């Protein structure tokens, strides 16, 4: 998906009728994802993430260790 985060192999974004946004990312493995989280972001990505945080409201992160995809 991005040369900056080769650990991310895909994702899905869903918007519920009440406006709730569910953004799901899939990673090669947990170790690679944790290492990717530690990387320094470019100024452009930092700006995008800052704007996202300002507009997103309540954010909750959930790690699914063994998801079932059907």
Q: How do residues 38-54 score in pLDDT, each as one tens digit?
A: 998 889 989 988 898 88
Phi and psi based region of residue 21 (left: phi greater than 0; alpha: psi -120 to 50; beta: remaining): beta
* pTM > 0.95: no
**Strand runs labelled E in 1-70:** 8-15, 21-27
Please tell me the predicted confidence (pLDDT) of residue 38.
Answer: 92
Cα separation, 38 vs 6, in Å, equals 13
Decide: 13 and 20 in contact? Cβ < 8 Å. no
**Which pair of structure tokens corresponds to residue 32?**
């690679």
Which positions of the chain have pLDDT values less than 70?
Answer: 1
Please tell me the predicted confidence (pLDDT) of residue 31.
Answer: 95
| Sequence-distant (≥ 6) Cβ neighbours of residue 28 within 8 angstroms | 6, 7, 9
Please tell me the predicted confidence (pLDDT) of residue 1.
Answer: 57
């Amino acid at each position: 998906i991005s040369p900056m985060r080769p650990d991310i192999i895909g994702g899905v974004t869903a918007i519920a009728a009440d406006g709730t946004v569910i953004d799901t990312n899939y990673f090669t493995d947990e170790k690679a994802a944790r290492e990717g989280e530690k990387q320094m972001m470019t100024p452009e990505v930092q700006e995008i993430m800052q704007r996202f945080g300002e507009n997103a409201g309540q954010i909750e992160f959930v790690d699914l260790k063994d998801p079932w995809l059907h």
